[in-house]
């Protein structure tokens, strides 16, 4: 019997079918107080590494970018989980 990760999206959005890259990218220099929605929207539907303010970095797969937040799938080390994040909580990011 196959394991089915615990996620269900409206609108047909699905997480990636494979894990993120094994190598963590080099963190870019952060020079802003908040991440611009236009900047992170270039990472839509791409593996994106997020460095949050005051926490450990993680892989993310954005499927929606709003004016003040981003939503998508966060890798927990085993499978993708749906998650949202306030743009002000992001120190820096990079997509591959």
DSSP 4-20: --S---GGG----SSPP
In a domain, 3, yes or no: no
In a domain, 21, yes or no: no
Q: What CATH number did the domain enclosing 75 receive?
A: 2.30.30
Close Cβ partners of 95 (under 8 Å, ≥ 6 residues apart): 42, 43, 46, 47, 48, 49
pLDDT of residue 8: 43
In a domain, 8, yes or no: no
Give the pLDDT confidence of 42-88 residue by residue, as tens digits: 999 999 999 999 899 999 999 999 999 999 999 999 999 999 999 99
In a domain, 22, yes or no: no
In a domain, 5, yes or no: no
Give the pLDDT confidence of 4-49 residue by residue, as tens digits: 344 444 455 899 999 999 999 999 886 666 789 999 999 999 999 9
Contact 53, 90 (CB under 8 A): yes
In a domain, 55, yes or no: yes
In a domain, 27, yes or no: no
pLDDT of residue 41: 96
Domain count, the chain: 1
- Residue 17, classified by CB atoms within 10 Å of its CB into exposed (0-12), middle (13-18) or buried (19+), is exposed
pLDDT of residue 12: 59
In a domain, 80, yes or no: yes
């Amino acid at each position: 019997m196959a394991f089915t990760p615990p996620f269900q999206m409206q609108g047909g959005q699905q997480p990636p079918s494979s894990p993120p890259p094994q190598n963590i990218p080099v963190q870019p220099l952060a020079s802003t107080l908040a991440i611009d929605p236009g900047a992170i929207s270039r990472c839509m539907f791409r593996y994106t590494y997020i460095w949050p303010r005051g926490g450990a970095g993680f892989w993310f797969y954005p499927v929606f970018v709003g004016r003040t937040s981003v939503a998508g799938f966060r890798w927990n080390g085993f499978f993708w989980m749906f998650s949202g994040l306030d743009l002000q909580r992001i120190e820096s990011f990079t997509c591959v």
